[in-house]
Amino acid sequence: MGTSNSVMISSAVLRKSYLGTIQSENEEVDVYYKPKDCIFTLPKETKIDESQEDQQIKCKEMYKYESFLTLDHQRDFTNNSLSFKYLDEKHKSIQAKTFHFTTEKEYKQAFSILGNINPGQRDGKQRYLGIIVNPISGSKKSVDYFENVFKPVLECAGLKYDVFQTTGPTYIQNLIKDIDLNETPYTDFIVIGGDGTIFQLINSCENHPQKESLRKIPLGFFPGGSTNVISCDLGCTNEYLSTSKILKGDTIQTDLIVTTLDDGKKVYGLGGFIYGHAEVSVRDSVADRENFGKFRYMIRGVQDFFSSIHTPKFPVEISYKLHKPLKQNKEESKQILPILYEKWRKYPLNEIFSMAIIHHECRSTFFSAPLFPGMRYNQGRMLLYIFEPTYKYRMLEFIFKWIYGKGKQVYVPDVTLTTISKIRLSFPTKTFVAVDGEKYETSHCSLELSPHKVNLIGQLWDYKDYEHDVVNYFGF
């Protein structure tokens, strides 16, 4: 297999992550673990200067460590070769690579290095995946993703797994309720579906008697839904990237938004909270699932938006607390913090056009540029977004500026943007709100971040220039 373009890696990083060198008849490959999680080859004349911490070394990226599947476990040197298989994301297939050796010493050295690359273990234990497939979610490709992409990789890597195919809205709740982690010690839960399927899994885990143990189990996602904002924010923008990241197994701890309804029920969400025009469009789009599939939200939103020249108004009383920055001057904090961040603030208007409360960048499979740049799952804050009803076509101005700016933060009149830690909403009558797209009827509610974190498989985006942050959902 040919090598890709050269990459520059810090010599300090190379020294800290060096695993060993594989020498074969026709090539010499140095194996490194970080930061690219790849196997690199260095020119033989390359010398690393121990005195220069920031020296840059040109390497050729060869085989992605995160895509490593299995090693030929025959320890017989008779064939003078050692083979391994890996997931080729570019060609979307499982490929094989073979090293040929001249001595048994070279063979044993290579085996000892590659033998440490084991996607089948987590924290020294054999991985056991509980896979939930929603066949009717969004694009209705979840079964195809599992059978033709994920399953062959799992079998090649030798991972143990159980598959559960949902049959109704309460299937996941009943499934998690009956799970005994002592009998089935799952190390990962994988969802092949949309944001709604993820929502059901998280809330089922939070209501389980063994929820403390379930919170420690990482959750991995495939973008099988309509918008897939959760999986896309974790870099899982298609089925092959999801497979690769799940195989690698790296996790991040993330915040959960807890919505407390008027009856005391707590609802946990990763996607966000919406009310007003956005919630009505999501609720109305349910009837369009069969006709428009994953495009139903967009189509219904446009229909509702232009259905009348009048701007709909949604009554609500809003009180919130500002988010406290992590870094504060100690002297100023003693005087300012109690005033700014502990006081409940009241929003001046009692009617709005639409609102959203989120804590992530909100990418999707339609356009990967972030709707809310700079927000991260693990920042300990929420973003309050309010569109005032004075002129609803400000939303069009916002959308066009956002698209033109390729995801850069946009500010327009009549739009409120505030980072908060807590918020309380009160409605004159029972009304509908939506958490992660699921509707609930309530007369008042409050939102805050859960003190408990959840583990998600993937990586947060780390781009400073969002002009280079547009990823094609159907390719690489």
Hey, what are 78's tokens?
């008779």
Would residue 469 count as lying in a domain? no
Query: Is the Cα dihedral 224, 455, 161, 97 positive or negative?
Result: positive
- Cα–Cα distance, 378 to 359 (Å, whole number): 8
Q: How far apart are CA 267 and CA 444, in angstroms?
A: 14
Per-residue H/E/C for 124-148: CEECEEEEEECCCCCCCCHHHHHHH
- The answer on 136 and 64 residing in a single domain is no
| Same domain for 269 and 227 | no
Residues 243 and 283 placed together within one structural domain of the fold: no
170 and 268 together in one domain: no
Q: Is 471 part of a structural domain of the chain?
A: no
From the centroid of its chain, how far is CA 416?
Answer: 26
C-alpha 377/C-alpha 391 separation (Å) is 32
Which H or E element spans position 399? Answer: helix 394-404
235: tokens are: 């870099």
Number of folded domains that form the chain: 3
45: DSSP letter: T
Q: Return the DSSP state at 287.
A: G
pTM of the model: 0.74
Q: Pick the last residue of a domain from 239, 254, 269.
A: 254
Same domain (yes/no): 42, 189: no
Helices (H), 65-164: 104-114, 142-145, 151-157
Same domain, 133 and 168: yes
What is the full per-residue pLDDT of the chain (476 aa) written as tens digits?
A: 344 456 565 665 555 556 566 666 666 666 655 444 555 566 656 666 666 556 666 666 555 544 556 655 444 555 667 676 766 666 677 777 777 777 777 766 666 666 555 666 777 778 899 999 999 887 788 999 999 888 888 887 778 999 999 998 899 999 999 888 888 889 999 999 988 899 999 999 998 888 888 888 999 999 888 778 888 888 888 888 788 788 878 888 889 999 999 999 999 999 889 998 888 877 767 666 666 666 666 677 677 777 767 778 899 999 999 987 755 555 544 555 555 677 899 998 889 988 999 988 887 766 666 777 777 777 889 999 888 876 666 667 776 776 666 556 666 667 778 889 999 999 999 999 999 888 999 999 999 999 988 899 887 765 433 333 333 222 22
Same domain? 205 vs 339: no
**Can you give the residue range of the structural domain that contains 107?**
6-117
